Amino acid sequence: MKFNKIFLLFLLSGFFACTNLEESLNEDLTRSEAEAYLNSNTDVGALLEAAYNGMRLPYQDQSRFWAAQQHTTDETLGPTRGPDWDDNGIWRVLHDHTWNADHSFLSSTFNELLQIVFTTTNALTFNVTPQQEAEARFIRAFVIFSIADGWNQVPYREPGENLLNAPAVLKGTEAVDFVISELNAISANLPDGPTNRANKDAAKALLMRAYLNKGVIADRAAPKFENGDMQQVITLADQIIASGKYSLDNNYFDNFAPNNDQVSSENIWTAENVGGSNSGNVRSRWFCTLHYNQNPSGWNGFATLGDFYNSFEASDSRRGGNYPGMTEVSGIKAGLLIGQQFDQNGTALQDRKGNPLAFTADVAPVETGNNLEITGIRVIKYPIDYNGGDNADNDYVYLRYADVLLMKAEALMRSGNTGAALTIVNDLRAVRGATALGSLTETNLLAERGREFYWEGNRRLDMIRFGKFLEPFQGKPQQSGPERLLFPIPAPALAVNPNLQQNPGY
């Protein structure tokens, strides 16, 4: 069988849906022969691995979707430190809610998420097993939900569509309905959880997130929480709870440790990172915050804020403490780092000018550029892997059991069953070492979600759902305009797809 350069181009791009394929092949192959060749010679498993690995940059890197979800909130700040970390204001405008349509990190995030949608859709054009199909569609649904959350418009093609035509756009509720439909269709063909792969329990947890936020995506300024959607959240949570496969960990930071694939009883779906050889940029979670004179020598960048730190009780294990395999190696504790820092021998560390390395809660307004080496409380959510080098072994956490519990509690509260919701929250708080709440309100439930999921890339959507995202918070003294509930569509995307429209206010 012959195949020419034109055919090789189609093979590399998956672009055999073009209607003039037979003519392009110059009669070397018929269309059916070309499709048969591709189906029998394409490694669908490799395409699927490319999709999983393609998620690493937009989700694990400190500058992509995580930054969009965290730096825009009351949990995360990227202060300018003298000549360091200004980066032409790219972090500052996120926390200030003054980004514009040219923000490069937001544009890159949008494009990289869409690349995953393309990769998974392309994989579905080949002969896939039922499980491969389900995994590809799950990954695509997860990413589509992220795009709908941030930009409200998701370019989408059916498998095999002509790539010369501009893709249609799923907007708002339409995108969420698509995610829900996909997850219901594929769940039976997914493997059981927990795994590093898409799995049945991950599909249920993502369905919970979709139902809980369906009214938010429909109207971010005034979301409605339909009772039927809340009942779906509760039912799906009960199914995961009844499986008996998950429980809250006694050591909160085990969920994020280098060996979290072995010691966590909470993680439902994670991204596999292989220490020393093959991982995403999960190490950025500690490099972006540690000082130059700590071990490892970090980038002395991001911090959390005093108001957020003060929301924790002293007894709350989530606030931090010694962690085996890390503190005795470097002196660094897990959690929120404030005050004088020490090495593994108890020796007080110094900054580069010989002053005490004592992190402070005070952070100057991001516009002034007066934050130097020690301002800002630092965050170690993922215990440091000292053996993996640049390829850390910590599997990146996408979905975990605590979120199932708190989403159920929220759905119960929004359905009027505040008593049952309070019991769930207080049971979780007891495991974390915090005292019981006397009552449950939207305000203290949002605060609880902050304490439980800080720096996990959920905060922006949580604040929007609870109506707090536009309000002033520490480091952002002004009320934001409603356009900040969405990110701008990048100009290059608008130029190539007439079905996209710029979001209001940009």
The pLDDT tens digits of the residues spanning 276-300 come to 999 999 999 999 999 999 999 999 9
Q: Measuring CA to CA, which residue among 291, 307, 310 is closest to residue 299?
A: 291
Q: Is the pLDDT of residue 16 over 80?
A: no
**Residue 60 pLDDT level (bands cut at 50, 70, 90):** very high
User: Which residues make beta-bridge pairs with 342?
Assistant: 348
* Predicted local distance difference test score (pLDDT) of residue 39: 59
> In sequence order, which residues have a C-beta less than 8 Å from that of residue 209 and are 6 or more positions away?
145, 403, 407
Q: What does the pLDDT look like over 175-222, one tens digit per residue?
A: 999 999 999 999 999 999 999 999 999 999 999 999 999 999 999 999
Q: What is the pLDDT at residue 318?
A: 98
Residue 404: pLDDT band (50, 70, 90) is very high
In a domain, 35, yes or no: yes
For residue 400, being part of any structural domain is answered with no
The mean per-residue pLDDT over the stretch 224-250 comes to: 98
The pTM (predicted TM-score) of the whole model is 0.92
Q: Which amino acid is at 362?
A: D
- Would you say residue 248 lies in a domain? no
Q: Is residue 81 part of a domain?
A: no
Q: Is residue 445 part of a domain?
A: no
> Is 450 within a domain?
no
How many domains does the structure of the chain reveal?
1
Give the pLDDT confidence score for residue 369 in this predicted structure. 47
Q: Which of 283, 249, 264, 208 is nearest to 428 (CA)?
A: 249
Q: Any residues with CB less than 8 A from the CB of 200 and at least 6 apart, and which?
A: 187, 188, 190, 191, 192, 193
CA separation, residue 184 to residues 22, 154, 174, 210 (Å): 38, 20, 15, 12
Identify the CA nearest to 321 among candidates 373, 400, 386, 252. Answer: 252
**pLDDT exceeds 90 at position 35:** no
pLDDT band (50, 70, 90) for residue 12: very low
On whether residue 181 sits in a domain, the answer given is no
Report pLDDT for 363.
Answer: 83
The neighbouring-strand residues paired with 171 are: 153
**What 8-state DSSP symbol labels residue 314?**
T
- Domain membership of residue 30 (yes or no) is yes
The percent of residues above 90 in pLDDT, for the chain, comes to 87
Stretch 394-417: mean pLDDT: 98
Q: Share the mean pLDDT of the chain.
A: 92
Cβ–Cβ < 8 Å for 269, 59? no
pLDDT of residue 280: 97
464: left (phi over 0), alpha (psi -120 to 50) or beta: alpha
Which residue segment(s) compose the domain that 28 sits in?
A: 5-41
On the 0-12 / 13-18 / 19+ scale of CB atoms within 10 A, 263 is: middle
Taking residues 450-474, report their average pLDDT.
Answer: 98
Beta bridge partners of 153: 171
> How much is the pLDDT for 25?
45
Place of tokens 């072995």: 262
Residue 20 has pLDDT above 60, yes or no: no
Give all strands (DSSP E) within 158-288, no chain letters: 168-171, 267-271
pLDDT in tens, 315-346: 999 999 999 999 999 999 999 999 999 999 99
Give the tens place of pLDDT for each residue, 376-388: 999 999 999 999 9
- pLDDT score recorded for residue 365: 56
Vertex 174 angle, CA 172 and 176, to 5°: 75
DSSP string, 383-422: ---SSSTTS--PPEEEEEHHHHHHHHHHHHHHTT-HHHHH
Residue 69 has pLDDT above 90, yes or no: yes
